[in-house]
Structure formats: structure tokens, C-alpha cells
Amino acid sequence: MFKKNPTLKLVSLFLILALTVTAFAGCGKQQLNSEQAKAAEPRVIVDHVGRNVTVPGEINKVFSVSPVGMILMYTLAPEKLVAWNFTIAPEYKKFILPQCRDLPDLGGWYANKTCNTEELLKMNPDIIISIGAIDQTSISLADRIQEQMGIPVVVVNSELNKLDQAYEFMGDLLGVKDRAGELAAYCRETVDDVAGKAKLIPEEKRLRVYYAEGNQGLETDPMASQHTEVLDFVGGINVADVPMKGGMGMASVSMEQVLAWNPDVIITATMGPMGGKEGMVYNNITTDPKWSTIKAVSNQRIYDIPDKPFNWFDRPPSVNRIIGVKWLANLLYPDIYRYDLKAEVKDYFSKFYHYNLSDQEIEDLLVRS
């Protein structure tokens, strides 16, 4: 008879345990690989105009047809943004994350811009987003780009009161639901709060406002334009009786028309990081004698729209307008909208632009407003 070897028995037990653990690990690894493969499979989504679009299961690289979507992408998932739609001026770059400051400018499909499609194809984005006003033109553009580039194009509505839905949709699309939920909630709360307070403004107390664009301040946009949506929303009366223009808008007006409108308030806009000279319109209006008899100028109620890192009111009409809503509401009706504007600006920049403002920077941003 052979004696039982306790050492051999112990070794055998260890071998059995090791084989068992390896088997379970293999099953777990196979399951994990299976789940990863499933998550990476293409999926069909329905965009905001009802188009069925097949997109990758995992989306890591995104390009936008215009600055509207580019800004939303930067606020939501900057690590997925592959390029800008315009070159950001050096003085604006300080508010941009270091890893995004020198992304290339590939242009896009908006206004008179042309996209550098050759370079874009080299970057091989997973999807292209078309965020902005929803109309037949935007639908046709999306179909054309998708056919031309062979890259899925997703259309998203960016109306001011639907920005929360835009974030929630994009969060689901890009796999960043928590981040999107935070930004969506901020947009929803801001819109609801301002809309509620706007109803409290008596008709006779509503201020008549002229939105001065162009280098001389003699271009503007009418009520109900996407470019003046913020003014309409906060309860201001847009004095501009001009034709509605598509695209970039900006109808030309005469000095005589502005004098006849005689607005209570003038807000001025320079193109900022998209190529304008800072404060140009504001300086022209405040120093040119032709404007001096207008009520807004004589009462020193002319304000330059803050534009860092993106214009707070318009151009592009993206999520940068959410802080602009609070800025303009507080500016026109401080008794109705009792915001601590400096605190609001600081909070917004931190949440949306990934930037912590100093007190001096806030003062500088609001210097002419």
C-alpha cells in the first residue's frame, strides 16, 4: 500500500483552485469582451428632424458644421472636439482649455465659409453635428454633407428654450449623460426663471432696444430672428423694423432710421474672436456726434455685449447665450431680475467653459456693460 502524501494532496488542491479561478477569469473576460463589442456596434438614432442616422456605438471624434455646434461640443465634451470652425484670437484663448487652444481651424458649412474637407477626412471624425435652427435648408445641408463626406451627420435643434433638450440628446449620443444632465438642468432653470419673470414686466415699462452690428453700428436684426432671440426672451422691445434675413442676418439700416427709432437702450456687438476689433462698434457710437441726440446715447445707456470667449448675445447663437440671458435681463430690468451677476458669470464659466474666473477677470469682462 502507498502512503498518502500530504504535500502531494496540497499541491493538487492548489492546482484545482488555480484552474477554477482561471476558468472563471476566462469567462469574465469573454463576457467583458462581448459587452465591449456590443457597445461598439453601430446603432441607428433619430435626430431632431426625424432622420434615421447610423452612428458608431462609441463616438470619440466630433466635428461641427458651424460654430453653434462647436461651442456646444466644447462645453459638453471638449476632449472629443477635433477642430474649430474659426481661428480664435490670442486674447480670447486664455479662457479656452490648453489642450483645445491650438486645434486647427477647418472652417465649415456656414455663411461664406468653406470646410477644408481634405484635412477633415484625414482626421476621420466619427460623426459630424449640425446644431442650429431647424428648417428645410439645415436638413438638405445635412444630407448633402453626409453623402459628400461619407460620415454620419446628426441634426440637433438649438433654439434658446430647447438647449436643455439639445444637451440631453447629445449626452446620450456621446455617452456623457451625467455631464449633459448638469448643463441641461442649468439651461432649463435659467430659461424657466427668466421666462417667468418676463411676464411681470408691465408693457409700459418695457424698454425699446437697438442691437447695433457692423463696424459702424448700422446693421441689425429684427424681432423673432435667431440673432435677437435673447432680447425678445428677456422682455425687451426690438425697435428694428427691417426684413428678416437668413444665414448670418444683419440687415443694413440708415442713420436716419436709427434716429427715428430713438431707442432707450443700445447694445453693441463686435465679432470678437471671429475676427472683429474689440469694442469697435461701441467706440464708434459713443464718439460719433451723429449718434449723440439718440435717447440711449444722451442717457448713457449704451452697452457693449461681453464676448469672451464667445459673444454672450449672438454670433454664434449657441449656448453662450445662456449667460447672455442673465446679463441682458439684469441690465434692462434690475428690479425684476435680481441676479448677482458677478456670481452668475463665475458659476457659468466654471460649469460651461471649464474656467475659474478671478474677480479682476469678471470686472474686465463687464467693463463696458
- pLDDT of 2 higher than 50: no
For the chain, which residues make up each domain, given as ranges? 43-160, 202-365
Q: What is the pTM of this model?
A: 0.88
280-300 pLDDT per residue, tens:
899 999 999 999 999 999 999
Q: What is the pLDDT of residue 25?
A: 58
Q: What is the pLDDT of residue 36?
A: 57
8-60 pLDDT per residue, tens:
555 455 555 555 555 555 555 565 465 555 567 999 999 999 999 999 999 99
CATH superfamily placement of domain 43-160: Nitrogenase molybdenum iron protein domain (3.40.50.1980)
> Is-same-fold flag (43-160; 202-365)?
yes
191-247 pLDDT per residue, tens:
999 999 999 999 999 999 999 999 899 999 999 999 999 999 999 999 999 999 877
121-169 pLDDT per residue, tens:
999 999 999 999 899 999 999 999 999 999 999 999 999 999 999 999 9
**Residues 208, 264: contact at Cβ < 8 Å?**
yes
- pLDDT of 278 higher than 90: no
83-97 pLDDT per residue, tens:
999 999 899 999 999
Q: What is the pLDDT of residue 1?
A: 43
- Report residue 61's pLDDT band, with 50, 70 and 90 as the boundaries: very high
**Residues 243, 251: contact at Cβ < 8 Å?**
yes
Q: What is the pLDDT of residue 215?
A: 87
Residue 130 Ramachandran class (φ > 0 left, ψ -120 to 50 alpha, else beta)? beta
| 202-365 topology per CATH | Rossmann fold (3.40.50)
C-alpha cell at 79: 476632449
179-201 pLDDT per residue, tens:
999 999 999 999 999 999 999 99
